[in-house]
Structure 1
């Protein structure tokens, strides 16, 4: 007991001596907890060495921590009881000081996380700089945790190691995290062996189909709690979603391209017979008219000449015999003249026969052109068979693509290369189509040339017809002369 009394007396003596040696500043509470948005008042007590002091300065501030800088709430000056509040806390902080009671009080309104730190009260008295000049208290502003964010780190495939993270952006005191696992039937279950959980990170090793399910993270502190949910689906490595979507997209693109090519080929087949039928009547028209016109023209002309000659000779003989027997010599002379005219007609007939031979040569040339058209049509027919063979080859390629898709051995790169090859084939088909269009234009030009030739034949026919009319006029003139001579 004696030892304890001695120790107590020594401590009391030391405290009295320290009080007499200098200033002593203390806070009414070492720590204080308050909810965010509430008001709080902190009290600072001080004991100066001298009872009467001309000037006392008391400064309230917040110490700097790892995330925030030092802040000044305000300063009190005993001279004229002046209070200087910091610009950041005007209207939010107030300082009340009682010099007689040796205490100062700081009031903060609607505290936030910014004030959650160590608050310091610093007292300055001229000539009293020794001792404990400041006191501190820790102000803890309590904030419930925000809704946590759950994320997956890693690839959820068989045999992989993954982690589930859970973090709340705010919360004071610092929230604690707790994970719970549920199966697909929403029944709580324990975690697999070797699973670890620390600071909101749940580590899962060698995951499998049984690891799939629902995971709930609970974030809590003294003020409140929040939770987040995460659905984990573990799949085999070959069932990667990105590669599966790529394969399906490539197959769809290939099928669409085949449909477009088939549609274009069918449309061209429907158009080709119509184009050929347009040119066919022209060829058939050129087969008959040339020969028929030449033969009919020849027969009709010879018939008219014979009828007119017989009629003229019969009438002349009868008139000469009945009227005047003495002018036989004159008639013989006139008969010679008629023979000369007939020779002239024979010469004209020979010329016309030569023209008919020329028409036959032109007809043979046109017949050769028609054979050329038939050869071109056969070439096009062969091209159409080539297109059918290509179409059959493409159908075989489509069946091969289906087999590759069923076996799941095809790669997306190979499908892209095949798509490029099909594009090249489509360009080749377009070039063939352009060549066929050029051939069709050439046929149209040949058709226009033949129409021009037909017009030329019609002009020649009109000229010959005019020549025949000229011969008829000559014959009428001679007949009138003969009649006039007989009458005289």
Structure 2
């Protein structure tokens, strides 16, 4: 083999160098963190998304670093979370993320642009991209972050009749928690094994106990779990003999009849009392209507005066001696019996008894009267 001449060797080296540069095999900016590209964390925890890089001598432009959240919906725009440019950090793009997201290093230009996220929330789930630029070098790396919610507020319940021979279903459900949730039942009291007739559905959390017996009674515990946590609840099962339905129905009927009897008696008493009061009012009203009104003294006295005067015409002077002693002042006057405001038909003259005797008047004796106007 003939030795290669120096000019020809130099030519071959130059061609190889051109080919290497055209193929992009020259050394430039590179991202070195390639350990993990997917992260699953629980809500409220903390995560560090790695992004380390190395610069080459050919990278002479200014250093720019930015973290971008790529939405799952392609129609939405990318959202810048944090940025480093011209030796300054910009992290106040969104208020909900301010204070929760920051660079791991205070000066990321030294080669560590990793991102720390604290107090993770469900809305932090997404694809994060780290971009490092220093002209002419440009590199990027994507990381998938999934924030899961632990099961919480898990409740247990019993569905169905807890009687011997009946089918009973124990239910378990978590009101919070990221899918996929899995449920598992176990017996706490007695033997830890579930009854032989039980059927468990881990996806829905239902435990069916067929043809239950008293041996099934006890405390049962349900555990809800997903990839980031667990939560549990308990329920007490008491299997009892069948209830005497006939006795309950008979007792209800008897109680209803007794209640109706008492109610009927009370209504009867009220009606009877009402009739008695009504009768008393009617009798009292009839008695008052039957009593004749008393006659006034003035009319009675006037009638008797007239009758006595008519009878005096047949009396002899000897019979008049007994009446001379009767004073005329005892004649009833009509003035005190006249109602106020009434106009009298005539005004009787008021003359003293001696004057009447001188004028030739005849004395008349007025018989005594009872309160009802009858002569005594």
Structure 1 residues 127 and 274, CA gap change in structure 2 (3 angstroms): closer
Residue in 2 aligned with 1:27?
33
| Matching of residue 475 in structure 1 with residue 311 in structure 2 | yes
Structure 1 residues 156 and 102, CA gap change in structure 2 (3 angstroms): same
Report the TM-score, using the length of structure 2 for normalisation. 0.55
Separation in 1, partners of 2:172, 2:54: 53
1:177-205 deviations in Å (ceiling 9; x for gaps): 3211357xx55442333612313513416
Q: Which has the higher contact order (CA 8 A, sep 6+)?
A: 2
Contact kept, 8 Å, 1:167 with 1:200, in 2: the verdict is no
Q: 1:216 aligns with which of 216, 221, 239?
A: 221
1:445-468 deviations in Å (ceiling 9; x for gaps): 5444323xx22xx54999789756
> Can you give the 5+ residue segments of structure 1 that lack an aligned partner in the other structure?
1-13, 279-439
Residue in 2 aligned with 1:435?
none
Contact kept, 8 Å, 1:20 with 1:49, in 2: the verdict is no
Contact kept, 8 Å, 2:69 with 2:80, in 1: the verdict is yes
Structure 1 residues 94 and 463, CA gap change in structure 2 (3 angstroms): closer
Report how far residue 228 of structure 1 moved: 0.5
Structure 1 residues 180 and 38, CA gap change in structure 2 (3 angstroms): closer
Separation in 2, partners of 1:483, 1:146: 131
Structure 1 residues 119 and 251, CA gap change in structure 2 (3 angstroms): farther
Residue in 1 aligned with 2:232?
227
| Matching of residue 265 in structure 1 with residue 268 in structure 2 | yes
Paired residue secondary structure (2:185): strand
Report how far residue 60 of structure 1 moved: 1.3
| Matching of residue 73 in structure 1 with residue 81 in structure 2 | yes
Structure 1 residues 46 and 188, CA gap change in structure 2 (3 angstroms): closer
Residue in 2 aligned with 1:178?
184
Kindly report which structure 2 residues correspond to 1:225-374, keeping only aligned pairs within 5 A, or say none.
225-232=230-237, 256=259, 258-270=261-273, 272=275, 276=279, 278=280
The structure with more helix, counted as a fraction of residues: 1
Contact kept, 8 Å, 1:27 with 1:136, in 2: the verdict is no
Q: 1:196 aligns with which of 200, 212, 224?
A: 200
Report how far residue 121 of structure 1 moved: 1.2
Paired residue secondary structure (1:263): helix
Contact kept, 8 Å, 1:168 with 1:219, in 2: the verdict is no
Report how far residue 51 of structure 1 moved: 2.3
Kindly report which structure 2 residues correspond to 1:61-210, keeping only aligned pairs within 5 A, or say none.
61-64=68-71, 72-77=80-85, 80-85=86-91, 86-87=93-94, 88-95=96-103, 96=105, 98-99=108-109, 101-115=110-124, 118-124=127-133, 133-139=139-145, 145-152=151-158, 159-160=166-167, 162=169, 164-167=171-174, 169-170=176-177, 176-181=182-187, 187-193=191-197, 195-199=199-203, 201-204=205-208, 206-210=210-214
Paired residue secondary structure (2:272): helix
| Matching of residue 42 in structure 1 with residue 46 in structure 2 | no
Over aligned residues, Cα RMSD in angstroms? 5.0
Residue in 1 aligned with 2:290?
450
Paired residue secondary structure (1:89): coil
Separation in 2, partners of 1:251, 1:50: 104
Separation in 2, partners of 1:50, 1:253: 102
Report how far residue 216 of structure 1 moved: 0.9
Kindly report which structure 2 residues correspond to 1:361-440, keeping only aligned pairs within 5 A, or say none.
none
Residue in 2 aligned with 1:352?
none
Separation in 2, partners of 1:154, 1:61: 54
> Can you give the 5+ residue segments of structure 2 that lack an aligned partner in the other structure?
1-19, 321-376
1:24-74 deviations in Å (ceiling 9; x for gaps): 5453530567776565543313457872242443221345469xx975421
Report how far residue 217 of structure 1 moved: 0.6
Contact kept, 8 Å, 1:155 with 1:162, in 2: the verdict is no
| Matching of residue 57 in structure 1 with residue 55 in structure 2 | no
Separation in 2, partners of 1:51, 1:22: 7
Report the TM-score, using the length of structure 1 for normalisation. 0.44
1:459-485 deviations in Å (ceiling 9; x for gaps): 49997897566444433332135879x
The structure with more strand, counted as a fraction of residues: 2
Q: How many residues align?
A: 287
Paired residue secondary structure (1:199): coil
Residue in 2 aligned with 1:301?
none
Separation in 2, partners of 1:237, 1:102: 76
Separation in 1, partners of 2:162, 2:23: 71
Contact kept, 8 Å, 2:151 with 2:174, in 1: the verdict is no
Contact kept, 8 Å, 2:198 with 2:210, in 1: the verdict is no
Contact kept, 8 Å, 2:185 with 2:207, in 1: the verdict is no
